[in-house]
Amino acid sequence: MSFNFRSWLRRVKLRLSGKLSGSTYRRERKQYADRRRLCLEALEPRETPATASFAAGAYLIDMGQSTQTIGNALKPYGLVYDMVTNLKVPVNWAINPAKTTFRLDAGDAIPVDFTATITTGTKNYSGGSFIIDSAFLTPPVVAAINNWKAQGVVVDTLAAPLTTDIFGQVTSFPRAVLDAQNGKLAVPYYTNAGVPSSSYQIGNPTDLDHCDDVYILPHADPANWPVAWSQALQDFVNAGGGLWAGCHSVSELENLLVGTSQLNFLSTGGLVDFGSHSKGTPPYTYNSAAANDPIMQIMNRLDAATLNGSEQIYVPTSLQWRSTTTVAVFDPDHPNNPTGGTSPFNDAAVIAYGNAYGDPTKGLVMYEGGHSLAGTAAANVAAQRAFFNFLLTQGILHAPKPSVTIPTIVAGQSATLTATISGGSGSYSYQ
């Protein structure tokens, strides 16, 4: 994870001078680990989500188009990468924390995150749209955004001040290690989004180091791993690193032992082995409690995208999913669901996520059913959006937290500004 101190300090200076909007952030709720919170303003430390204000001229990246395509729903993640990595521009992620419904099928009501006045009139925004403050819209930034617009990204210009809920601010894009066995399955997701290969490397768990933020584990066989690999992955997750896993790597991983320690990150006692349960029985149920979670900012069912491969759904044993696990998409009618217990914790899951072992100090883990999510159909776009939403969420939780002490400034007198950075990973350069 990299962090550009000069860009952050420029933002602080703009706020102090009153040239940057959004200076009021109000704490709303607490969902993830405190030590992973993003705090960008030294004078206004905050937890996510928060309420932020934006002046006219800000750019709104609309993620809620009713017809979701590679261009309008996946390329925006490439835009976010471009902004935070190449141009050092923070991107705000606007999600309504009161949402309790999804837009899954044509004809469903679309839950609204916020309503804004733009240059063409009044418009509702859904699906976790992004906002770029007008203070950062320099000619090079505008030129870059125009390039993304040409690829299908829908960008509007704010015409009147806006105050809305912000889940978090993306300031860097997570660096990933894609598992050497089949990490190539995730490469088309990055390609569809326009996120370059420089944001990941191919390797195994022992290649993880302090510069990496997430391990991507599609179809793989952790049961055949050397002990060193299993131990390295567990150490990485225990230290706060993220993990995304798919296909039958999930049940093998959850049942894996490292010495006497089990890698049952999201379940209480492991999962039914992939060869011992049947496939899913869609249509699946979408957990209304997850409608306002950043990972679940999607605009279509993803069921069809997961109906491939050796494990399309994850079945808990009688010990169920952990109470701290969000079972976001599940199959309440699956024939192998354990008897007893409480739904959805006793239900087969298509998407489940949460902090490993239910411990908020450990990394964020996500399981997503199916062998490959690649494709251009609406379900595939939704499934790939969930993948990138996980990455952005992990990036926000794993971001460095700068803190600055600004003394009283007196005209004509020198003053000392002190800044420190905590959290995140790797080393920092002050410029």
Model confidence pLDDT, tens digit, residues 216-250:
999 999 999 999 999 999 999 999 999 999 999 99
Residue 409 lies in a domain: no
Domain identity same for 45 and 154: yes
Is residue 26 scored above 50 in pLDDT?
no
Distance CA 27, CA 369 (A): 34
For residue 196, the domain's CATH number is 3.40.50
Determine the pLDDT at residue 400.
72
Residue 189 lies inside a defined structural domain of this protein: yes
By mean pLDDT, which of 25-39, 54-68, 377-391 is the weakest?
25-39
pLDDT band with cut points at 50, 70 and 90 for residue 92: very high
Same domain, yes or no, for 154 and 201?
no
* Mean pLDDT on 121-138: 98
The H-assigned helical ranges of 53-209 are 75-81, 139-149, 187-193
In which domain, by residue range, is 21 found?
Answer: 5-170
DSSP lists the bridge partners of residue 316 as 271
Q: Which of 46-50, 210-214, 316-320 has the lowest mean pLDDT?
A: 46-50
- H-type helices in 307-351, by residue range? none
Rounded Cα distance, 315 and 250, in Å: 10
Closest to 93 (Cα-Cα) out of 165, 160, 22: 165
Final residue of a domain: which of 151, 170, 189?
Answer: 170
Q: Which of 89, 92, 18, 90 is nearest to 61 (CA)?
A: 92
Q: What is the mean pLDDT of residues 88-106?
A: 97
DSSP letter string, 232-269: HHHHHHHTT-EEEEETTHHHHHHT-EETTEE--SSBSS
Q: Are residues 166 and 17 part of one domain?
A: yes
Residue-wise pLDDT for 378-431, tens only, equals 999 999 999 999 999 999 987 776 777 888 888 888 888 787 776 655 555 555
60 plus 92 within the same structural domain: yes
Domain edge (last residue) among 170, 188, 215: 170
Q: Does 266 share its domain with 283? A: yes
State whether 201 and 151 are in the same domain. Answer: no
Do 324 and 277 share a structural domain?
yes
Q: If we measure between CA atoms, which residue out of 250, 242, 244, 253 comes closest to residue 348?
A: 250
181 shares its domain with 165: no
Domain count, the chain: 2
Task: Name the one residue in this structure whose structure tokens are 């939704």.
Answer: 382
Residues 184 and 149 grouped into a single domain: no
Please write the tens of the pLDDT for every residue from 327-384: 999 999 999 999 999 999 999 999 999 999 999 999 999 999 999 999 999 999 999 9
Residues 313 and 207 in one domain: yes
Q: What is the pLDDT of residues 181-195, one digit of tens each?
A: 999 999 999 999 999
Question: Which pLDDT tens digit goes with each residue over 100-123?
Answer: 999 999 999 999 999 999 999 999
Same domain (yes/no): 152, 266: no
Q: Is residue 297 part of a domain?
A: yes
**What pLDDT does residue 414 have?**
87
Q: Are 75 and 145 in contact (CB under 8 A)?
A: no
Residues 145 and 55 grouped into a single domain: yes
Q: What is the pLDDT of residues 249-298, one digit of tens each?
A: 999 999 999 999 999 999 999 999 999 999 999 999 999 999 999 999 99
| 95 has pLDDT over 50 | yes
Q: Is residue 404 one of the residues assigned to a domain? A: no
Cβ neighbours of residue 156 under 8 Å, at least 6 residues apart? 59, 60, 62, 116, 118, 119, 120, 123
Instruction: Using a pLDDT cut of 90, give the percent of the chain over it.
Output: 80
DSSP state of 194: T
In a domain, 422, yes or no: no
Mean of pLDDT over the chain: 89
Contacts of 226 (CB under 8 A, 6+ apart): none
